[in-house]
A = this chain, B = another copy of it.
Amino acid sequence: MTDPELGIAAGPHPTIKDVAELAGVAFKTVSRVLNDEPNVRPETRARVEDAITTLNFQRNVAASSIRRLDRRTTSIGLVVEDVANPFASRLARTVQDAAGQRRHLVLVGSSDNVGEREQELVSQFLARRVDGLIVMPGTGGQAYLTRARRRGIPVVFVDRPGRDIDADAVLSDNDGGTRAAVEHLGRIGHRRIAFLGDQLDLYTAVSRLDGYRTGVRELVGTVPDEDVRTGLHTSERARAAAAELLTRDAAPTALICGNNLISIGALHALQDLRARDRVAVVGFDDIELADLLTPGVTVVAQDVAQLGRHAVDLLFARIGDPDTEYQRVVVPVALVPRGSGEIPPMREREG
């Protein structure tokens, strides 16, 4: 049976035996051609290649990987919190590209920061015998990854270090970023700089708070407790916290927002108070359309492409040589001034 249009055999995928038969050789010879092994006469090779083209043969990589000594499946697994989140999707993209350059495919899953889902995804990936894992670890801990490790499947953490297990990790310079944000605001004249942060069981939240504290301590000596709000895991909570902070008697003149959602919440609060052009704001992580807002939103931007590329590099380095010391790569962040972070402090907020 041949397809009248394209000459492609209908039915199931052809195998190397089908190719061998058509080429008039033993199936081992086909295998040799597929794996670029030496000792195949050029004309034999040509005949095999013709047959491959004619049948539109495509090697079954699963069957191949079962038998081959290195057991490689040329696929890796990526677990993020939520691919729909711009940070995660940009990461997924760079991981796919970097893995693709090494001819590896990427299985992707979203954990929603639920420990069981994270573990289940990794489990599914391992059942497919991925060659390695890149995990954005959730707050539940990663002890379960010891199994993968024992089985020789390398793991690289990205965005935050994993807990309960040592592994390669690629992180943004979180504390450096918030510290730079404080210095930036300080240079403009701000002395009362508040911080809105996420839940402190998140590594990034803690690091960013640390950088803020360091910066403020250097700038004015002490960090007033009332200028720090954490545990803000939703935009709404951030909005409420910002509103409360800014309507106090001695309100801060500048805000540093610990992440994207918090920035959005804070901007909404400022919007409600008609204070967008009176209170300085620096957000952590870039915001889509930040430059179309008025004023533009000054941010500490993460270099997602670098995070992804380093993660893949580390993963393949470890696939190649499992016994080197674990590395931690810190990717620089960049302060991008767009207006909101350059608003000078108001002398008399109540006047």
Q: Is the CB of B58 within 8 A of A127?
A: yes
Copy total for this chain = 2
A86-B288, A100-B109, A292-B264 known; A66 vs B58 contact (CB < 8 Å)? no
CB distance from A85 to the nearest CB of B (A): 8
Smallest CB-CB separation from A56: which chain B residue? B147
CA distance A82 to B96 in the complex (A): 11
Q: Is the CB of A127 within 8 A of B96?
A: no
A contact residues, range:
35 or more
Give the interface segment out of A3-11, A172-180, A181-189, A242-250: A3-11
Residues of B within 8 A of A347 (CB): none
Query: A20 within 8 Å of B by Cβ?
Result: no
Q: Is the CB of A129 within 8 A of B66?
A: no
Query: A262 within 8 Å of B by Cβ?
Result: no
B-contacting residues, A146-190, CB 8 Å: 146-147, 150-152
Query: A89 within 8 Å of B by Cβ?
Result: yes
Residues of B within 8 A of A59 (CB): 127
Q: Is the CB of B84 within 8 A of A89?
A: yes
CA distance A340 to B90 in the complex (A): 29
Smallest CB-CB separation from A120: which chain B residue? B100
CB distance from A26 to the nearest CB of B (A): 21
Query: A293 within 8 Å of B by Cβ?
Result: yes
Residues of B within 8 A of A88 (CB): 89
Query: A287 within 8 Å of B by Cβ?
Result: yes
Per-position binary interface string of chain A over residues 287-319, scored 1 when its CB falls under 8 Å from any chain B CB and 0 otherwise: 111001110000000000000000000000000
| Main SS class of interface, A | mixed
Residues of B within 8 A of A73 (CB): 62
Q: Is the CB of A83 within 8 A of B75?
A: no
Query: A92 within 8 Å of B by Cβ?
Result: yes
Residues of B within 8 A of A63 (CB): 62, 66
CB distance from A307 to the nearest CB of B (A): 13
CA distance A206 to B202 in the complex (A): 46
Q: Is the CB of A147 within 8 A of B61?
A: no
CA distance A349 to B282 in the complex (A): 37
Residues of B within 8 A of A90 (CB): 84
Q: Is the CB of A293 within 8 A of B288?
A: no
Q: Is the CB of B96 within 8 A of A92?
A: no
CB distance from A255 to the nearest CB of B (A): 15
Q: Is the CB of A60 within 8 A of B129?
A: yes
Q: Is the CB of B13 within 8 A of A151?
A: yes
Smallest CB-CB separation from A143: which chain B residue? B6
CB distance from A4 to the nearest CB of B (A): 11
CB distance from A340 to the nearest CB of B (A): 12
CA distance A73 to B127 in the complex (A): 11
Q: Is the CB of B106 within 8 A of A108?
A: yes
8 pairs, CB–CB < 8 Å, chain A vs chain B: A6-B147, A8-B147, A61-B128, A83-B96, A85-B89, A105-B124, A105-B125, A268-B292
